[in-house]
């Protein structure tokens, strides 16, 4: 499970910000049912199953999940796909000379198979400056060093099987963790296994990663029935659906026209078949409707999300969704959140982190104060801050009450993280006058 994630000098985040999944120790007696339902009691402590992140457009919500995506990408790909000299996909805070030259820092704390890990890196686009991995077990109080890398120098703890040859093979722009996993280092492989189960989706633009897409999971008896039942219950009027597989004969003939000499036909055909999308056909009273030609954008999105959500709930994985509310009715979005809140549908403590503008989800009957986070960009230096409703102090110096009207107070600006438009009407009137 995710415990916390931090980023510093990454895009709009100049100073270090931390998103924590640790539940606040206070429990509201009035809302005890909600408080208990929304918390997973784990050996690592009381962790939140769901967190929602709010803020104005361009405040930094997407950059927060983008920082997680960047860390995941570097961990999984820097040794496998990167080449010597390739730039790392980090982007520092650009509005100050010192930060433009300084490394970006990304750090994540998570639990996996009874062990808690703290992994982080500090990197520029040219090289990894620092990298560290620490662990501790649930019954322990002290962290134990696995390894720490400063440039080309390594410090290794007793819990890490040191291999100087792997250290020597680690390029400046590659992660030692990734290179170690590529050479079958057992501890590194375990860490990468958790990162592979971390799924990030920009639901306004992306389809999920291959392997977790709905089309990939239909046909797998472990997930297919749950996906079908979820689609039926989402009130699209869909009784069932079927999948149309890509036509191997058509793809083979297409490849043969592209490569008439035939020396690459077999390999290219396999790649095309692997990457070709399967088509969904929705069934209503026995009548077929092509998903992408006949259905709404909201229905397509729900299909896209069904597979990753079912997969996460089945295995207790983490899903992060940017623009969660895009194309979804607010009541449907609420139902999807409640899938993760309800222990009956989430027995393995899967977690969901989402960004949204849907203020209807800002209600204490759905989410606790520590589950609501806000990103606000300073109008002075354009750097973004991240804070939770539980830690916010209002103008009177007091915290937000458990029985506060979260949505109403947020839209009134009491919590910050809302847009300020200025005199739009005046600006447009002046434009009209100049045009006339």
DSSP β-ladder status, 318-322 and 351-355: parallel
**For residues 379 and 3, what is the distance between their CA atoms, to the nearest angstrom?**
31
Q: Which two tokens stand for residue 283?
A: 């069934």
Cβ–Cβ < 8 Å for 155, 135: no
Sign, Cα dihedral of 344, 345, 350, 351: negative
Encode pLDDT of 3-26 as tens digits. 999 999 999 999 999 999 999 886
Cβ–Cβ < 8 Å for 238, 228: no
Cβ–Cβ < 8 Å for 116, 45: no
Around Cβ 338, how many Cβ atoms within 10 Å?
A: 15
In the chain, how long is the greatest CA-to-CA distance? Answer: 78
Around Cβ 397, how many Cβ atoms within 10 Å?
A: 6
- Count CA atoms closer than 13 A to 404's CA, side-chain side: 23
Stretch among 258-262, 281-285, 405-409 having the lowest mean pLDDT: 258-262
**pLDDT level of residue 258 (50, 70, 90 thresholds):** low
Around Cβ 63, how many Cβ atoms within 10 Å?
A: 22
Per-chain mean pLDDT for the chain = 88
Encode pLDDT of 82-138 as tens digits. 566 789 999 999 999 999 999 999 999 999 988 999 999 999 999 999 999 999 876
pTM of the shown model: 0.90
Around Cβ 215, how many Cβ atoms within 10 Å?
A: 18
Tell me what the mean pLDDT of segment 199-225 comes to: 82
Encode pLDDT of 305-360 as tens digits. 999 999 999 999 999 999 998 899 999 999 999 999 999 999 999 999 999 999 99
Which of 303, 362, 313, 360 lies closest to 341, judged by CA? 313
Q: Is the pLDDT of residue 155 over 90?
A: yes
Task: Give the three-class secondary structure for 378.
Answer: coil
């Amino acid at each position: 499970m995710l415990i916390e994630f931090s980023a510093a000098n990454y895009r709009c985040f100049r100073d270090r910000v931390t998103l924590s999944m640790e539940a606040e120790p206070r429990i509201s007696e009035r809302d005890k049912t909600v408080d208990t339902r929304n918390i997973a009691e784990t050996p690592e402590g009381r962790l939140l199953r769901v967190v929602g992140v709010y803020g104005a457009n361009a405040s930094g919500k997407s950059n927060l999940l983008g920082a997680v995506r960047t860390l995941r990408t570097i961990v999984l790909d820097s040794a496998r796909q990167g080449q010597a000299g390739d730039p790392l996909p980090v982007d520092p805070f650009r509005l100050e000379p010192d930060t433009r030259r300084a490394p970006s820092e990304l750090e994540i704390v998570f639990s996996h198979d009874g062990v808690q890990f703290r992994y982080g890196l500090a990197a520029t686009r040219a090289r990894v400056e620092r990298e560290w991995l620490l662990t501790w077990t649930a019954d322990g109080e002290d962290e134990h060093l696995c390894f720490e890398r400063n440039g080309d120098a390594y410090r290794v703890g007793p819990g890490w099987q040191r291999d100087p040859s792997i250290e020597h093979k680690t390029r400046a722009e590659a992660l030692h963790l990734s290179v170690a996993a590529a050479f079958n280092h057992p501890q590194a492989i375990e860490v990468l296994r958790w990162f592979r189960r971390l799924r990030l989706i920009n639901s306004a633009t992306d389809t999920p990663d291959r392997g977790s897409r709905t089309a990939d999971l239909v046909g797998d008896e472990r997930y297919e029935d749950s996906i079908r039942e979820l689609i039926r219950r989402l009130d699209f009027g869909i009784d069932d659906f079927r999948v149309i597989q890509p036509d191997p004969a058509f793809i083979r003939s297409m490849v043969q026209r592209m490569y008439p000499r035939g020396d690459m036909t077999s390999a290219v055909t396999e790649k095309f078949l692997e990457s070709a999308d399967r088509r969904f056909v929705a069934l209503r009273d026995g009548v077929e409707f092509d998903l992408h030609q006949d259905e709404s954008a909201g229905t397509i999105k729900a299909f896209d999300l069904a597979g990753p959500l079912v997969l996460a709930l089945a295995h207790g994985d983490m899903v992060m969704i940017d623009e969660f509310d895009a194309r979804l009715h607010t009541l449907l979005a609420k139902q999807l959140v409640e899938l993760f809140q309800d222990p009956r549908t989430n027995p393995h403590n899967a977690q969901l982190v989402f960004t949204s503008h849907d203020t209807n989800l800002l209600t204490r009957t759905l989410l606790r104060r520590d589950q609501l986070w806000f990103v606000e960009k300073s109008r002075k230096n354009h750097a973004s801050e991240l804070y939770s409703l539980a830690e916010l102090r209002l103008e009177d110096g007091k915290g937000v009450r458990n029985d506060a009207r979260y949505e109403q107070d947020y839209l009134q600006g009491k919590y910050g993280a809302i847009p300020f438009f200025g005199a739009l009407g005046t600006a447009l009137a002046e434009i009209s006058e100049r045009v006339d």
